[in-house]
Structure 1
Amino acid sequence: MTGLFQGMHYVLKGFALITQKGIRPFVVLPLLINILIFSAGIWLATSQVDRWMEQLLPTWLHWLEWLLWPLFILVIFFAVFYTFTMLANLIAAPFNALLAEQVEKHLNGLPVAEFQGFKSIPALITRTFRSEASKLWYMAKWGMLLLLITIIPGVNIISPLAWTIFGAWMLAIEYADYPMGNHELYFKEELKTLKQHPAHALGFGWILSLITAIPILNFLAMPVGVAGGTALWVDELSKSHRNT
């Protein structure tokens, strides 16, 4: 439980970090990308939900619409928002890596380097794309298993809890990846390090999941996640990695 609450605390720490003077300039682009992508996701979810409901529900079951509506809303919510979260992080990955770098310098007591423009971004693109592709493949494999659990009668009673845990774990992986990637760690190494701190990871990811679900506040989820994930790396994950 201690690790769980400590993990939650790193989200609050992320909010505090993105307001720091030397870090704020590196928050702008991830924030703008997140606003654009999430606005598109919100529009898509609200404008298309009725049509999706009609397509997903057979005509002969329309009389159950009032009962199934909350379930469909929940499924659509998770599908749209997790998809758009991953899309936003894929697009913003190089900028998030720069943000994580500046946050780590700030936390280690080092002077934050002056912004030198985006000349370093091309060198980050290959690395960050490779990392994002690994995360997407990992998410797809486990997502298919959870989808199978969801449609099996009897077993599907555990699916809401399973999806909640999976979502929290994936967000922890997503945002801890940036500082670890800056230290030339690859996905398998990152995963191994996070598995040594499952409670921290789940607490951190769970609060980020809640933030992602809150309108307006969800626009801040990406930079807060990057900053909080970097603080988690500096305080906890980096120590475990050095000891392995």
Structure 2
Amino acid sequence: MPAAPVLSGPQYLREGLKLVLSPGLRLFVLLPLTVNLILFVALIGVAVQQFGGWVDAFMPSLPSWLSFLEYLLWPLFVVLVLLMVFFSFTLLANIIAAPFNGFLAEKVEVVVRGEDHFPPFSWAELAAMVPRTLGREARKLAYFLPRAIALLILSFIPVLNLVAAPLWLLFGVWMMAVQYIDYPADNNKLSWQDMLAWLREKRWQSLSFGGITYAALLIPFVNILVMPAAVAGATLFWVRERGAEPVTKPQP
């Protein structure tokens, strides 16, 4: 039986993790894991060196008689920088790993449905997915960047930047649902606009899945395994919430 809508996200992510650890799917997880690990190590190195400067850049300049507020505001701006760094890491990792994630979503769908409508694995098939999946990632960037830039500008405006961190968090939760559920949607030829419309119809389920994925990705080292688990969980979300539909292989 499906979970209640608001609680369905943790269930999908948990089941997705079990799927990617199963013997039949481990092979398709190795490449995304490697990409994640390399990027994570690089991000940690850069963040350790630059983090303090980034926080100082966003902190507003206060007159001396209000200097005591710096101790109250500093944690908020630490959170703001963490959210922005996390966004950058996730965005870059998903762009690089997009073909592998799309292929993983395809194989998870085969396992979940028990029907293989996709051709058998070949490196040629994987290579053929690259232009399509990267094109879809470019579409996500076009959706993401204007909104992220607006939030970034808001982050520099005194007083208004106090709401930047919660807005980044809410936007991040939504983008996690968009990012990962788009893989099975794209594999099944659902257009970008139709995919967004479908997610809005499933708003609470989508936010539930995006929220648990976002939270798990914020945990160091755990987040290395979360990306493939989220791809598998999003595919489960697609199959169960969308209902049994014929699977067709998109032409590259």
Interval of TM-score (by shorter of Structure 1 and Structure 2): 0.7 to 0.9
2:53, 2:63 → 1: CA distance?
15
- RMSD (Å), alpha carbons: 2.9
- Percentage of identical aligned residues: 37
Q: Does 1:47 align with 2:49?
A: yes
Identify the range of structure 1 (115-124 vs 39-48) with the bigger mean alpha-carbon deviation.
115-124
User: Does the Cα contact within 8 Å between 2:217 and 2:223 map onto a contact in 1?
Assistant: yes
Deviations 1:36-88 (A, max 9, x none): 11222222222211233444457877956544431232121111111110111
1:162, 1:69 → 2: CA distance?
17
TM-score by length of 2: 0.84
TM-score by length of 1: 0.87
Identify the range of structure 1 (45-54 vs 18-27) with the bigger mean alpha-carbon deviation.
45-54
**1:3 aligns to what?**
5
**1:118 aligns to what?**
123
Question: Among residues 78, 100, 103, which one is paired with 2:105 in the alignment?
Answer: 100
In structure 2, the gaps of 5 or more residues are: 248-252
2:212, 2:153 → 1: CA distance?
26
Q: Does 1:75 align with 2:80?
A: yes
**1:170 aligns to what?**
175
**1:86 aligns to what?**
91
Deviations 1:68-121 (A, max 9, x none): 431232121111111110111100111111100110000001369896342112
How far the C-alpha of 1:144 sits from its partner, in A, is 3.2
User: Does the Cα contact within 8 Å between 2:58 and 2:156 map onto a contact in 1?
Assistant: no
The amino acid of 2:206's aligned partner reads A
1:69, 1:125 → 2: CA distance?
42
SS at match of 1:214: coil
Identify the range of structure 1 (105-114 vs 80-89) with the bigger mean alpha-carbon deviation.
105-114
How far the C-alpha of 1:147 sits from its partner, in A, is 3.9
Question: Aligned pairs, how many?
Answer: 242
2:221, 2:175 → 1: CA distance?
22
In structure 1, the gaps of 5 or more residues are: none
SS at match of 1:119: helix
**2:219 aligns to what?**
214
The amino acid of 1:128's aligned partner reads T
